[in-house]
């Protein structure tokens, strides 16, 4: 059988289009495919919710690939090790509460389980705005990252979602958009994004779990974005808080939607 280039093109265009059309009305839209977005998406999809991740870059994994200063290992605590176990990601004990995982295995393991649970991952797409109606966040406005990078004037497309999750990391990009464009007050002391503080791992790891939550109707933050929104410190290359915050938010969303 000879291969037909047009069939190859048609297969890609039609299957991608049907994945995109199946994502126009979501239960949960997650912006950012870092460790937090990936982990959160898995628990949601495992509970039969229609979930998509929109990731700006070509690769998912965010800041996890680089470990600490490009030493591609990550540290997690005992509680979070249980989450890695659930994903089938190997860990070795370093000392007491410190476990080590390989960042390559960690990212690919999170992604593998998420996609197997039927999370739809769209890379190369950036959230440039949110859909807000009557004080409720109800969708995400998307454009190709290439359009953003080229500075082209191309109008975006929109997906609807019962819940939008900001898992965009340090920049808390979706929350920043809300702050700038929407009249909704965030559930923070100032009503706005408080801004991330300097390193303090111990405090930061508790802070991220505590503050990963709904910040205004229909809109949750998790992972590093939660510390930026609520004014918590950073923690460096320990990823337990990211995973625990992701699972916490997923369970809260499941409870809210069911
Ligand atoms: C689409 C977007 C947009 C957008 C950003 O940075 P991340 O890895 O975030 P988390 O919270 O999953 O994990 C944080 C962790 O990696 C980290 O940085 C830690 C622990 N730091 C501690 C310290 O002290 O430094 O992933 C966020 C993802 C990235 O892949 C971005 O490309 C993506 O979100 N993203 N995607 N539309 N507008 N903004």
Is any ligand 1 atom within 6 A of the Cβ of residue 54?
yes
pLDDT in tens, 31-90: 999 999 999 999 999 999 999 999 999 999 999 999 999 999 999 999 999 999 999 999
Which CATH architecture fits 26-64+118-257? 3-Layer(bba) Sandwich (3.50)
> Could you tell me what percent of the chain has a pLDDT over 90?
98
Using a 6 Å cutoff on CB, does residue 233 contact ligand 1?
Answer: no
Per-residue pLDDT reduced to its tens digit, 207-245: 999 999 999 999 999 999 999 999 999 999 999 999 999
Q: Can you give the pTM of this predicted structure?
A: 0.98
User: Average pLDDT of 22-34?
Assistant: 98
- H, E, C per residue of the chain: CCCCHHHHHHHHHHHHHHHHHCCCEEEEEEECCCHHHHHHHHHHHHCCCCEEEECCCCCCCCCCCCCECCECEEEECHHHHHHHHHHCCCCEEEECCEEEEEHHHHHHHHHHHHHHCCCEEECCEEEEEEEEECCEEEEEEEEEHHHHHHCCCCCCEEEEEEEEEECCHHHCHHHHHHHHHCCCCCCCCCCCCCCCECCCHHHHHHHHHHCCEEEECCEEECCHHHHHHHCCECCCCECHHHHHHHHHHHHHHHHHHC
Average pLDDT over residues 181-185: 90
Distance 171 CA to ligand 1 centre (A): 8
Work out the pLDDT band at 101, boundaries 50, 70, 90.
very high
pLDDT of residue 1: 80
pLDDT at 203 (0 to 100): 98
The average confidence (pLDDT) of the chain is 98
Q: Is the CB of 127 under 6 A from ligand 1?
A: yes
Pocket test for ligand 1, best of 37, 39, 41, 62 (most atoms within 8 A of CB): 62
Mean per-residue pLDDT, 18-33: 98
Residue 83: its pLDDT value, please?
Answer: 98
- Residue 98, pLDDT > 90, answer yes
Domains in the chain: boundaries = 26-64+118-257
């Amino acid at each position: 059988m000879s291969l037909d280039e047009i069939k190859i093109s048609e297969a890609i265009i039609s299957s991608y289009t049907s994945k995109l059309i199946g994502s126009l009305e979501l239960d949960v839209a997650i912006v950012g495919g870092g460790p937090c977005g990936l982990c959160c998406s898995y628990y949601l999809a495992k509970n039969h919710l229609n979930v998509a991740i929109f990731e700006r870059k070509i690769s998912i994994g965010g800041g996890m690939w680089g470990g600490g200063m490009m030493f591609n290992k990550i540290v997690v605590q005992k509680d979070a090790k249980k989450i890695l176990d659930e994903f089938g990601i190997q860990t070795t004990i370093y000392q007491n509460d410190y476990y080590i995982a390989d960042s390559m295995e960690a990212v690919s393991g999170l992604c593998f389980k998420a996609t197997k649970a039927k999370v739809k991952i769209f890379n190369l797409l950036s959230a440039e705005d949110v859909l807000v109606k009557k004080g409720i966040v109800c969708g995400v406005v998307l454009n190709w990252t290439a359009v953003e990078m080229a500075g082209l004037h191309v109008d975006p497309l929109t997906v609807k979602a019962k819940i939008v999750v900001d898992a965009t990391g340090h920049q808390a990009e979706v929350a920043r958009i809300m702050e700038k464009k929407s009249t909704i007050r965030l559930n923070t002391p100032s009503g706005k994004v408080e801004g991330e503080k300097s390193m303090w791992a111990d405090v930061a790891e508790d802070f991220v779990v505590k503050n990963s939550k709904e910040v205004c109707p229909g809109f949750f933050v998790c992972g590093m974005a939660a510390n930026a929104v609520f004014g918590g410190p950073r923690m460096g290359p320990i990823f337990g808080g990211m995973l625990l915050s992701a699972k916490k938010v997923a369970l809260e969303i499941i409870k809210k939607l069911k």
